[in-house]
Amino acid sequence: MKPFNHTNATSIAEIKTALADGKTTLIAGGTDLLGTLKDNILRDYPANVINIKTVPGLDYIKEENGMLKIGATTRLADIAANETIQKKYTALAQAASRVASPHIREMGTIAGNIAQLHRCWYLRKPENRFDCKRKGGSTCFAMQGDNRYHSILGAEGGCLAVNSSDTAPALIALNAKIVTDSRTIDAEKFFEVKKPGNTVLEKDEIITEIQIPEPPKGAKSAFIKFAFRKSIDFPIVNCAVMIGGDNPRICLNAVAPRPYRAVKAEEAIKGKSITEENAAAAGEAAVAEVKSFPEAAMFKKQIAKTLVKRAILSLA
């Protein structure tokens, strides 16, 4: 690992001042960043690393005026174990409990999980061997290379790398909002990236809070994940659903460069009882727009529609 300056921040203002130089990056749990720095995978190595976990008042879980509020540096383990989240915002508790390993969940934060770098072996090749599109280069090497775990819904910004956050689809299914130091963003729009990077965050913008409205009366939610290793692994596909009220919400992830709201699947199950047949129809609708390179499409399409079906049936 190359040398860098490390600072424990004490305020949001201090962080914003530090980020203005363009040579500074943030660290909270560090479960993704430290590996990134050790492997030197990025174009530019940061001169400074600012620890935001030392900023007071960013670690909390509370309900206020019909809204669940979670501080940006709240640990995934605490979210998974919280009884209120388990009962009322079940998909998020289940998603947080499936991130990586127990040790990583004790370190990793909710903000870090949704802002993490995409997964792609070209993007993450040590020593920036592949200066790819996601980093600001001119080529997506997965287009003509090994893309078996990549997007099955086409490229975004010329990149096939997938978003692999487990909590992201749960937040979208639960209609969450991401609060920063300067604005509030619908979770569904937080990942709409048309430029190098992983989110719509500006270079000096900082996540401060996650807000989730109380689910509609009678609504239930669930999260389900397929990975090769159950103990610790990134998803091949994951899925979160919320059924109940007037509008069901279904979101898949690891199938595209950003979490994919399966609107056609929502329409297929809307107003219908949860049955094997209706859940299967929603699963088929969820993958109706799949357009992919053969390697990924052969199996990820099947996994995605099966997860949608199973997640819906789990709420019966």
Summarised one tens digit per residue, pLDDT across range 175-191 is 999 999 999 999 999 99
- Segment 193-206 shows an average pLDDT of 82
- Name 44's Cβ contacts closer than 8 Å, sequence gap at least 6: 23
Query: With 80 as the cut, is the pLDDT of residue 109 above it?
Result: yes
> In CATH, what number is assigned to the domain containing residue 7?
3.30.43.10
- Name 303's Cβ contacts closer than 8 Å, sequence gap at least 6: 226, 236, 237
Question: pLDDT, tens digit, for every residue of 51-77?
Answer: 999 999 999 999 999 999 999 999 999
In angstroms, the CA 237 to CA 297 distance is 12
Q: What is the pLDDT of residue 76?
A: 98
Q: How many domains does the chain have?
A: 2
With bands split at pLDDT 50, 70 and 90, how would you rate the model's confidence at 230?
A: confident
Question: pLDDT, tens digit, for every residue of 238-294?
Answer: 999 999 989 999 999 999 999 999 999 999 999 999 999 999 999 999 999 997 666
Q: 167 and 44 in one domain?
A: no
Question: pLDDT, tens digit, for every residue of 143-172?
Answer: 989 998 999 998 888 899 999 999 999 999
Task: Describe the strand order of the beta sheet including 207-213 as a list of residue ranges.
Answer: 61-64, 67-71, 207-213, 177-180, 184-186
Q: Could you tell me how many helices (H) and strands (E) the chain has, helices first?
A: 12, 12
- Name 299's Cβ contacts closer than 8 Å, sequence gap at least 6: none
User: If you average pLDDT over every residue of the chain, what do you get?
Assistant: 94
Q: 109 and 1 in one domain?
A: no
In angstroms, the CA 163 to CA 115 distance is 9
Could you give the 3-state DSSP secondary structure of residue 203? coil
Side-chain-facing half-sphere of 315: CA atoms under 13 Å? 29
Of 137 and 268, the structure prediction assigns the larger pLDDT to: 268
Question: pLDDT, tens digit, for every residue of 79-89?
Answer: 999 999 999 99
Q: What is the pLDDT of residue 198?
A: 85
Q: 98 and 78 in one domain?
A: yes
Both tokens of 248, joined, read 């069901």
CA distances from residue 118 to 17, 186, 230, 282 in whole angstroms, order as listed: 27, 20, 20, 27
In a domain, 294, yes or no: yes
Q: 195 and 232 in one domain?
A: yes
In angstroms, the CA 167 to CA 206 distance is 18
Q: Would you call 144 exposed, middle or buried from its count of C-beta atoms within 10 A (0-12, 13-18, 19+)? A: exposed
In a domain, 130, yes or no: no
In angstroms, the CA 104 to CA 109 distance is 9
In a domain, 121, yes or no: no
- In degrees and rounded to multiples of 5, residue 312 shows phi and psi of -65, -45
Verdict on whether the full-model pTM lies above 0.85 = yes
Query: With 90 as the cut, is the pLDDT of residue 92 above it?
Result: yes
Could you give the 3-state DSSP secondary structure of residue 202? coil
Q: Would you call 103 exposed, middle or buried from its count of C-beta atoms within 10 A (0-12, 13-18, 19+)? A: exposed
Q: Using a pLDDT cut of 90, give the percent of the chain over it.
A: 88
CA distances from residue 239 to 108, 120, 252, 292 in whole angstroms, order as listed: 20, 20, 4, 19
For residue 76, list its beta bridge partners.
Answer: none
Question: pLDDT, tens digit, for every residue of 7-46?
Answer: 999 999 999 999 999 899 999 999 999 999 999 999 999 9
Q: 224 and 105 in one domain?
A: yes
In a domain, 244, yes or no: yes
Q: 276 and 232 in one domain?
A: yes
Q: What is the pLDDT of residue 196?
A: 62
In a domain, 257, yes or no: yes
Range of the domain at 25: 1-52
> In CATH, what number is assigned to the domain containing residue 98?
3.30.390.50
Q: Quick one: residue 184, left, alpha or beta (phi over 0 = left, psi -120 to 50 = alpha)? A: beta
